[in-house]
């Protein structure tokens, strides 16, 4: 009888195995390659899936996750930005509280700098860089050679964000809805030297145009702070002109073209609508903000990454697809003609063009 | 006896053949299983089958798969949470964010908000989130635990898409002799886990009073290996919590009973760093108050009842590293009045009117956001062919604020023989968006529509005696469900829910048990539960969506549980093994977590100390010391122990 029971159980097991018609083990083909366009994929907050993709603009092929391929470990949670300093790339991994340093040629891990919530890194010299930090009122000072935090600069407000160096003066955005000031730091002594009053609150991102004027994007639409572009003369720290966005517009990721005469930016509608949603372009001489998108986002689509290849002028646009699946990057000619599309990691957020 | 065995074996052969044929036709279905093999143990006397006191289970769901957690299992886990019990013993995926951390239900590929949790018939999911944290539901406080698989929104209301977890408190017992009951439980385990509890009651001819309490604390500082292969102890993982439930019942007359329940619980939890985080100082405190007043009048052919409940859930979350210090409170009133009527020996009718009003108060603006659901529901059960065919028709008309929904359903079972029965169930189902999905700031989407669709499931059960000492049980369920307007959260910095997709879920579940009473002292048991779930996105509004025909996140395709053990006199032993397959963390299957196995040993022994019953239990979890994750980058402990005692004084 025991044998009979055994047979029964065996048959039942077999039945279940027969039903296993979908293979459980997923296919995860590794794609390796190289290129000069780096796609910073944030990953989905809390999933620890930040990744680094590389696009070969000549071959039109993308590969990734290159960091994992080379180092056999994951990068971390919310890969925010990257920057070359010397022969190394510094990768700011925001929610993993670290800056990962890799060899620029091989992407091999060289070390890590523990910094709370790093957002961007700004090279000051070969031995000094500033790091902005979310949820903190500090700019951290790191040594890119020793990979040590060597100090910090207290700021009057939280969320240090975009930074720009001009004539040894660092312009620091503090993306805090309580302030409409842009701060400058004397990079020689690492102390705040001035503050510049802006047209809007919550300064976030910063650019330099061909006339050596500074553009600051301020605002936090979701927190009720209307967004604005502020054009500043960095020599006397005066506001030259401001452009106020509609209250419902949420501009992000402004970039300057190689000529330095046009600004491209994203307006993102996370509610699924199409108004104020897409890629916009304006000349630095325009009197008003553009109202029509240069590249339109579709319903339930919004863009999260934008870059302009300084060598070709091609426009790179990242669609995060809700941060719940792999994103897509579309490459356009300057006249908005689609050139190529390729798949990248979750949440493409920035492009880095290595020259 | 030999001839009986042969006869039964022949019968079994035909059953297995039938099973095989049915399985072959099942195609892409899913399999699941329950671990109800823990039977016939000499603990607290004979094992009792747990049936519900709710007529919606007992009478009006003949075609639905319902699993009752047996008393032995409840006793085994009396020092633990329902999350632990269900993850090891029930065919439902428990999405656990870590040891002793937030744990939610996933029935048949549904999300946490698509699974309802009812306590004495009252929904107790957080009104804002629409989910229940089953790690905060102590087993000790529950007298009956039932799992209802598949949709039956007509009976159980909004959110019953994948299934329902039904919890019931102790029924009052009126005794003119002034019966008293008192038992104490305590436990200690690895990682400085301490638990303690009390169950006490006193009854008279008219009154019944009971008080159940459970407290626990743990440091949870287990060690784990980092990606650099170094051993690190988990930090910021402390847990402290307690739950008290009191009941006062009054027997107004022989047919009238009035009951009042008061249930309060508070938990403080630290949230340890995920593997990708360097450190964590996150913690949250939540407290829930649940009041329930219930009146029941039973006559020969008629039962009337009303129940009214007030529930508040408060959560205070802090993360000083992210400048977060938020406090949210949700409230809900629930009222239900009903009438059950036995029309004749073969048919019964129930009509009930549930009304639920829930609201949240925004932290910043003090603005009040509310949702009101009011419904009229009815079910009619009729039996034919001497009860062999049992059919239930049910329906519900519901208004959710200003949206009307009609939810019909039908289910039936048919006993072909005394050992083989078939069942089937077809229901329309829906889930109203939660208050958070509608109004959370930032990100809430007030224009969300309810998720809605149809659920079909069918199955069969066979119970045979291979001999007077050996019994075999086999149950197979297949289901199919299509949900439109599936709500998915999108976002990076700001997350917003959208009605984005149609999701098709189908699967096959089996439950298999074998029991052998070797002699008067030895009993052997073995059980295997399997599930196979395919839940894929069928269509989507997203441009170039790569999730089409891909498995939705955190729904393992394969899941299985095995129980093997024995009882000898007062000793009970069980080895439990669980397998959970790949879980995808993205909708396009591009990222996933590896499968894991856990082995768990359970030992119980009953004895007496000075005539007072004493039950001792020891549990060793993850005996193979696997390092695994249920949710990506959230750590689970290696081998760990938990010992407990139950001392019955009265």
Residues B425 and B454: beta-carbon distance below 8 Å: no
Q: How many CB atoms lie within 10 A of CB A100?
A: 25
Q: Which two tokens stand for residue B498?
A: 């959208």
Residue A99 confidence (pLDDT):
98
Residue B23 confidence (pLDDT):
35
Residue B607 confidence (pLDDT):
94
Mutation target among A6, A13, A24 for the B interface, most CBs of B within 10 A: A24
Over range A241-265, report the average pLDDT.
96
Our CA-based measurement puts residue B369 at a distance from the nearest CA of chain A, in whole angstroms, of 19
Contacts of B16 in chain A (CB under 8 A): 8, 11-12
Alpha-carbon span A131 to A94, nearest angstrom: 11
Q: Which of A42, A223, A300 sits opposite B498 (nearest CB)?
A: A300
Over range B388-404, report the average pLDDT.
94
Residue B364 confidence (pLDDT):
67
Binary contact (B27, A21; C-beta < 8 A)? yes
Residue A136 confidence (pLDDT):
94
Alpha-carbon span A306 to A320, nearest angstrom: 12
Examine the pLDDT at A59 and tell me if it is beyond 80.
yes
pLDDT band at A20 (very low <50, low <70, confident <90, very high): low
Mutation target among B1, B278, B439, B460 for the A interface, most CBs of A within 10 A: B278
CB pairs under 8 A between A and B: 176
Alpha-carbon span A214 to A164, nearest angstrom: 9
Q: Which residues are B234's β-sheet partners?
A: none
Residue A321: name the closest of B444, B540, B329, B203 by CA: B540
Q: What is the DSSP string of B146-161?
A: EEEES--HHHH-TT-S
Residue B80: name the closest of B650, B555, B646, B649 by CA: B646
Quick one: CA torsion of B433, B434, B440, B443, rounded to 10 degrees?
-30
- Cis peptide upstream of residue B24 (ω within 30 degrees of 0): no
Contacts of A116 in chain B (CB under 8 A): 321
Binary contact (B491, A319; C-beta < 8 A)? no
Residue A21 confidence (pLDDT):
62
Looking from the CA of B615 toward its CB, the CA atoms found within 13 Å total 22
Residue A14 confidence (pLDDT):
47
Binary contact (A96, B581; C-beta < 8 A)? no
Cα–Cα separations (whole angstroms), residue A85 to A38, A104, A111: 15, 9, 14
Q: Which two tokens stand for residue B386?
A: 């001497």
Q: Which of A42, A73, A270 sits opposite B227 (nearest CB)?
A: A73
Mutation target among A14, A42, A47 for the B interface, most CBs of B within 10 A: A47
Examine the pLDDT at B140 and tell me if it is beyond 70.
yes
Q: Which of A18, A49, A77 sits opposite B24 (nearest CB)?
A: A18
- Closest-CA residue of A relative to B33 is A16
Looking from the CA of B106 toward its CB, the CA atoms found within 13 Å total 23
Residue B176 confidence (pLDDT):
84
Q: From the CA atom positions of chain B, what is the Rg in Å?
A: 24
Find all residues with CB under 8 Å of B310, minimum gap 6, and list them. B289, B290, B291, B331, B332, B333, B334
pLDDT in tens, B33-89: 323 333 333 333 223 344 788 999 999 999 999 999 988 889 889 999 999 999 998
Higher pLDDT, B380 or B75: B380
Residues B378 and B337: beta-carbon distance below 8 Å: no
pLDDT band at B152 (very low <50, low <70, confident <90, very high): confident
Q: Which two tokens stand for residue B616?
A: 């001792």
Residue B227 confidence (pLDDT):
73
Find all residues with CB under 8 Å of B550, minimum gap 6, and list them. B536, B537, B584, B587, B588, B589
Residue B151 confidence (pLDDT):
86
Q: What is the DSSP string of A14-52?
A: HHHHHH--S-SSPP---B----SEEEEE---TTS---EE
Measured between its terminal Cα atoms, the distance across chain A in Å is 77
Residue A207: name the closest of A94, A287, A306, A90 by CA: A306
Binary contact (A95, B276; C-beta < 8 A)? yes
Contacts of B558 in chain A (CB under 8 A): 20, 24
- Closest-CA residue of A relative to B532 is A20
Q: Is A95 helix (H, G, I), strand (E, B) or coil?
A: helix
Binary contact (B19, A11; C-beta < 8 A)? yes
Binary contact (A300, B472; C-beta < 8 A)? no
Residue B35 confidence (pLDDT):
32
Residue B73: name the closest of B613, B604, B638 by CA: B604
pTM listed for this prediction = 0.89
Residue A345: name the closest of A38, A16, A23, A15 by CA: A38
Alpha-carbon span B224 to B318, nearest angstrom: 25
Map tokens 């006062």 to a residue.
B248
Our CA-based measurement puts residue A311 at a distance from the nearest CA of chain B, in whole angstroms, of 29
Binary contact (A48, B633; C-beta < 8 A)? yes
Q: Residue B128 burial by CB count (10 A; 0-12/13-18/19+): exposed, middle or buried?
A: buried
pLDDT band at B91 (very low <50, low <70, confident <90, very high): confident
Binary contact (B546, A21; C-beta < 8 A)? no
Binary contact (B584, A1; C-beta < 8 A)? no
pLDDT in tens, A189-245: 999 999 999 999 999 999 999 999 999 999 999 889 999 999 999 999 999 999 999
Strand arrangement, sheet containing A338-346 = A305-308, A315-319, A326-332, A338-346
Strand arrangement, sheet containing A262-267 = A251-256, A262-267, A278-283, A295-296
Average pLDDT, chain A: 92
Examine the pLDDT at A275 and tell me if it is beyond 80.
yes
Alpha-carbon span B647 to B598, nearest angstrom: 30
ipTM over 0.85: yes
Contacts of A8 in chain B (CB under 8 A): 12, 16, 472
Residues A57 and A312: beta-carbon distance below 8 Å: yes
Our CA-based measurement puts residue A304 at a distance from the nearest CA of chain B, in whole angstroms, of 9
Mutation target among A64, A271, A278, A306 for the B interface, most CBs of B within 10 A: A271
Contacts of A220 in chain B (CB under 8 A): none
Over range A68-75, report the average pLDDT.
94
Cα–Cα separations (whole angstroms), residue B145 to B57, B186, B479: 12, 21, 22
Contacts of A137 in chain B (CB under 8 A): none
Average pLDDT, chain B: 89
Residue A28 confidence (pLDDT):
64
Return phi, psi of residue A339, to 5°. -105, -45
Binary contact (A298, B23; C-beta < 8 A)? no
pLDDT in tens, A82-105: 999 999 999 999 999 999 999 999
pLDDT in tens, B298-329: 998 999 999 999 999 999 999 998 888 988 89
Q: How many CB atoms lie within 10 A of CB A151?
A: 13
Residue B288: name the closest of B306, B254, B262, B253 by CA: B262
Q: Which two tokens stand for residue A102?
A: 């890799």
Binary contact (B546, A299; C-beta < 8 A)? no
Residues B448 and B500: beta-carbon distance below 8 Å: no
Binary contact (B490, A19; C-beta < 8 A)? no
Residues B189 and B178: beta-carbon distance below 8 Å: no
Residue B7 confidence (pLDDT):
45
Our CA-based measurement puts residue B266 at a distance from the nearest CA of chain A, in whole angstroms, of 26
Q: From the CA atom positions of chain A, what is the Rg in Å?
A: 23
Our CA-based measurement puts residue B389 at a distance from the nearest CA of chain A, in whole angstroms, of 27
Residue B26 confidence (pLDDT):
33
Helix H segments across B27-81? Answer: 55-58, 71-76
Residue B221 confidence (pLDDT):
95
Binary contact (A326, B590; C-beta < 8 A)? yes
Q: Which helix (H) or strand (E) holds B322?
A: none
Return phi, psi of residue B191, to 5°. 60, 35
Q: Which helix (H) or strand (E) holds B8?
A: helix B2-26
Q: A16: alpha, beta or left, given left = phi > 0 and alpha = psi -120 to 50?
A: alpha
Q: Which two tokens stand for residue B536?
A: 């894929």
CB contact burial B15-46 (16+ within 10 A = b; e otherwise): bbeebeebbeebebbbbbbbbbbbbbbbbeee
Residue B16 confidence (pLDDT):
41
Q: How many CB atoms lie within 10 A of CB B47?
A: 17
pLDDT in tens, A131-180: 999 999 999 999 999 999 999 999 999 999 999 999 999 999 999 999 99
Over range B597-606, report the average pLDDT.
96
Residue A30 confidence (pLDDT):
59
pLDDT in tens, B537-585: 999 988 889 999 999 999 999 999 999 999 999 999 999 999 999 999 9
Examine the pLDDT at B464 and tell me if it is beyond 80.
yes
Find all residues with CB under 8 Å of B95, minimum gap 6, and list them. B103, B104, B105, B106, B112, B554, B630, B631
Alpha-carbon span A200 to A224, nearest angstrom: 11
Our CA-based measurement puts residue A270 at a distance from the nearest CA of chain B, in whole angstroms, of 7
pLDDT in tens, B327-371: 889 999 999 999 999 999 999 999 999 999 999 987 666 778 999
Q: Residue A149 burial by CB count (10 A; 0-12/13-18/19+): exposed, middle or buried?
A: middle
Q: Which of B490, B530, B542 sits opposite A270 (nearest CB)?
A: B490
Residue B42 confidence (pLDDT):
32
- Closest-CA residue of A relative to B323 is A135
Measured between its terminal Cα atoms, the distance across chain B in Å is 44
Residue A15 confidence (pLDDT):
53
Over range B524-546, report the average pLDDT.
93
Please say whether the dihedral angle defined by the alpha carbons of residues B122, B125, B127 and B133, taken in this order, is positive or negative: positive
Contacts of B633 in chain A (CB under 8 A): 47-48, 77
- Closest-CA residue of A relative to B510 is A16
Q: Which of B277, B494, B585 sits opposite A222 (nearest CB)?
A: B494
């Amino acid at each position: 009888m025991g044998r009979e029971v055994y047979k029964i159980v065996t048959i039942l097991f077999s039945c279940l195995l027969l039903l296993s018609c979908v293979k459980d083990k997923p296919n995860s083909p590794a794609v390796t390659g190289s290129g000069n366009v780096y796609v910073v994929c944030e990953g989905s907050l809390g999933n620890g899936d930040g990744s680094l993709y590389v696009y070969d603009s000549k071959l039109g092929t993308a590969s990734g996750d290159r960091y994992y391929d080379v180092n056999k470990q994951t990068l971390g949670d919310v890969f925010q930005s990257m920057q070359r300093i010397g022969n190394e790339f510094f990768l700011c991994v925001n929610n993993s509280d670290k800056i990962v340093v890799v060899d620029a040629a091989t992407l091999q891990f060289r070390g890590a700098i523990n910094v709370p919530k790093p957002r961007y890194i700004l090279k000051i010299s070969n031995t000094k860089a500033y790091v902005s930090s979310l949820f903190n009122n500090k700019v951290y000072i790191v040594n890119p050679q020793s990979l040590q935090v060597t100090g910090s600069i207290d700021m009057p407000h939280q969320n240090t964000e975009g930074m720009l160096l001009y004539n040894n003066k660092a312009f620091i955005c503090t993306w805090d809805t309580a302030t409409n000031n842009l701060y400058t730091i004397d990079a020689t002594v690492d102390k705040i030297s001035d503050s510049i009053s802006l047209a809007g609150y919550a300064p976030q991102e910063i650019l330099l145009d061909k006339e050596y004027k500074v553009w600051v994007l301020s605002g936090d639409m979701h927190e009720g702070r209307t967004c604005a572009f502020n054009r500043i003369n960095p020599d006397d720290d005066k506001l030259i002109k401001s452009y106020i966005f509609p209250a419902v517009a949420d501009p992000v990721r402004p970039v300057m073209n190689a000529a330095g005469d046009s600004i491209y930016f994203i307006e993102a509608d996370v509610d699924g609508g199409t108004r104020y949603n897409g890629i916009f372009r304006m000349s630095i001489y325009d009197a008003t903000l553009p109202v029509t998108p240069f590249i339109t986002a579709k319903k339930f689509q919004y863009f999260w990454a934008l870059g302009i290849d300084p060598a070709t002028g091609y426009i790179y646009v990242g669609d995060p697809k809700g941060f719940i699946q792999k994103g897509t990057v579309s490459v356009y000619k300057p006249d908005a003609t689609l050139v190529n599309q390729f798949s990248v990691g979750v949440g493409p957020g920035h492009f880095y063009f290595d020259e | 006896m030999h001839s009986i065995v042969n006869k039964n074996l022949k019968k079994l052969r035909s059953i297995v053949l039938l099973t095989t044929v049915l399985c072959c036709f099942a195609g892409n279905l899913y399999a699941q299983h329950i671990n109800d093999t823990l039977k016939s143990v000499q603990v607290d006397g004979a094992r009792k089958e747990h049936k519900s006191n709710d007529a919606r289970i007992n009478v009006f769901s003949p075609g639905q798969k319902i699993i009752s957690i047996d008393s032995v299992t409840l006793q085994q886990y009396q020092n633990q949470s329902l999350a632990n019990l269900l993850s090891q013993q029930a065919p439902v995926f428990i999405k656990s964010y870590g040891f002793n951390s937030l744990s939610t239900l996933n029935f048949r590929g549904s999300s946490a908000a698509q699974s309802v949790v009812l306590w004495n018939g009252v929904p107790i999911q957080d009104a804002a989130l629409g989910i229940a944290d089953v790690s905060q539901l102590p087993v000790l406080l529950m007298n009956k635990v039932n799992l209802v698989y598949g949709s039956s929104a007509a009976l159980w209301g909004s959110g019953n898409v994948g299934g329902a977890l039904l919890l019931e408190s102790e029924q009052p017992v009126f005794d003119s002799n002034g019966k008293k009951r008192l038992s104490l439980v305590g436990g200690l385990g690895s990682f400085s886990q301490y638990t303690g509890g009390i169950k006490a009651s006193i009854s008279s001819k008219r009154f019944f009073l009971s008080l159940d309490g459970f407290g626990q604390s743990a440091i949870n500082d287990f060690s784990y290996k980092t990606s650099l292969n170094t051993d690190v102890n988990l930090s910021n993982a402390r847990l402290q919590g307690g739950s008290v439930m009191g009941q006062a019942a009054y027997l107004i007359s022989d047919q009238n009973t009035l009951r009042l329940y008061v249930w309060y619980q508070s938990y403080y939890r630290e949230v340890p760093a995920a593997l990708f985080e360097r450190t964590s100082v996150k913690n949250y405190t939540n407290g829930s108050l649940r009041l329930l007043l219930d009146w029941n009048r039973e006559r020969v052919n008629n039962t009337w009842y009303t129940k009214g409940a007030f529930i508040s859930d408060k959560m205070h979350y802090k993360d000083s590293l992210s400048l977060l210090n938020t406090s949210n409170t949700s409230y809900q009133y629930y009222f239900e009045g009903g009438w059950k009527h036995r029309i004749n020996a073969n048919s019964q009718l129930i009509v009930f009117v549930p009304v639920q009003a829930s609201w949240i108060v925004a932290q910043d603006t003090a603005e009040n956001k509310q949702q009101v659901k009011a419904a009229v529901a009815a079910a009619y059960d009729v039996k034919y062919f001497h009860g062999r065919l049992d059919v239930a028709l049910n329906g519900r008309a519901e208004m959710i604020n200003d949206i009307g929904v009609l939810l019909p359903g039908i289910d039936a079972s048919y006993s072909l023989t005394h050992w083989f029965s078939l069942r089937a169930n077809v229901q329309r189902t829906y889930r109203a968006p939660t208050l958070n999905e509608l109004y959370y700031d930032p990100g809430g989407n007030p224009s969300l529509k309810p998720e809605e669709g149809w659920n079909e499931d069918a199955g069969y059960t066979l119970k045979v005696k291979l001999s007077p000492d050996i019994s075999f049980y086999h149950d197979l369920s297949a289901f199919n469900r299509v949900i439109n307007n599936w709500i998915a959260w999108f976002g990076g910095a700001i997350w917003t829910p959208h009605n984005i997709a149609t999701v098709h879920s189908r699967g096959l579940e089996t439950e298999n048990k074998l029991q052998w009473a070797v002699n008067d002292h030895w009993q052997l048991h073995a059980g295997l539960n399997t599930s196979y779930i395919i839940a894929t996105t069928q269509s989507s509004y997203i441009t170039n969506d790569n999730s089409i025909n891909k498995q939705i996140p955190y729904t393992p395709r394969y899941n299985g549980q095995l129980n093997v053990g024995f009882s000898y006199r007062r000793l009970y032993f069980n080895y439990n093994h669980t397998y959970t397959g790949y879980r995808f963390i993205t909708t396009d299957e591009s990222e996933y977590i590896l499968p894991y196995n856990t082995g768990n040993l359970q030992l119980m022994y009953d004895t007496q100390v000075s005539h007072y019953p004493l039950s001792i239990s020891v549990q060793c979890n993850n005996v193979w010391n696997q390092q695994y994750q249920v949710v990506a980058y959230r750590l689970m402990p290696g081998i760990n122990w938990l010992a407990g005692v139950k001392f019955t004084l009265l």
